[in-house]
Amino acid sequence: MPRIDPSIIVHKINTYLDAKPIIQKLRPVHPQKATAIQVEVKKLLKACFIYHVPLIDWVSNIVPIKKRCVYYRDINKT
């Protein structure tokens, strides 16, 4: 996100210096989910929220998760 200080939102995965990368085998994705993944990735790239990384040895498969709609409107009613 362009206007937020990177020290707040940068995510780092600390690894041991002698750790060897494990390359995961690409898993097939349903064509409908693949389209949704492509749309979401393009949206995040355009917003500069994510960027391409040359370290492909550490990259794993994308796992899309459905969001549940939770309504908190009535939580404080008595």
Phi first, then psi: what are they for 6, rounded to 5°? Answer: -60, -25
The domain ranges of the chain are: 1-78
Token readout for 27 is 């898993």
Contact residues for 44 (Cβ-Cβ < 8 A; gap 6+): 50
Q: Comparing C-alpha atoms, which of 73, 66, 53 is closest to residue 13?
A: 53
pLDDT, tens digit, 9 for 90 and up, residues 52-67: 877 666 667 777 787 7
Model pTM score: 0.54
Token readout for 30 is 């349903």
pLDDT, tens digit, 9 for 90 and up, residues 29-57: 888 888 988 998 899 889 888 888 776 66
In this structure, how many other beta carbons lie within 10 angstroms of the beta carbon of residue 36?
A: 13
